[in-house]
Amino acid sequence: MAVKQAQTKKYDRVRLLTYTAVLAALTFALTMVHIAPAANEGYSHLGDAVIYLSASILPWPYAMLSASVGGALADLVSGSANWAIATIIIKALNVVPFALVRMWLEKRGRDRKILSTWSVPALLLSGLVTFFGYLLAEMVMYGSRFAFAASAAAGWIQPVFSTVVFVVLALALDRADFKKKTQISFKK
């Protein structure tokens, strides 16, 4: 019996790491799909949609790892290495609103879906983290006047489009009962 439990625990750990790696790779891939160049030499992308998905599925430390690794690798590969450190911090912080909502839902036994009415505040807060996080990074890199103008003009595009893509993906995965079928509970 103890051997079977150890094997199951090992399998669950491998499965968790696999999901984390796959979601990091998807974050990287959708971050590499540049939608529009921004005034700050950055770009808009849909990688945040996968970050929102990771934060809705994985335990929060793994979601933070997936988000940070996927986003930072995209910065490094796309020639925006100067943003990599800011991205690691900002993308990890994008997970926090989802983590708080999921902890609250789990206490009530209601964390069965990826998308719920409680996703709305998490999406809004995560979008604000992106907007203000990159604004702060731009202020450090370029100075406050340019940073505000650049962020105010284009900083909202990425979170809005990523939210739309997340909602579409989450609805499809919820319709397929993804969380239940893949048994993503990852509880210790």
- 123 found inside a domain: yes
44: which strand partners? 36
- 116 found inside a domain: yes
- 187 found inside a domain: no
How many domains are contained in the chain?
1
- 188 found inside a domain: no
Q: Which residue range is the domain that position 146 belongs to?
A: 2-181
Tell me the average confidence (pLDDT) per consecutive run of 10 residues in the chain, 188 residues long: 65 89 98 71 81 95 98 94 96 97 90 89 95 87 72 74 94 91 61
CATH of the domain at 121: 1.10.1760.20
pTM comes to 0.88
- 59 found inside a domain: yes
- 32 found inside a domain: yes
**What's the pLDDT at 13?**
86
- 144 found inside a domain: yes
Pairing mode, strands 43-44 and 36-37: antiparallel
- 25 found inside a domain: yes
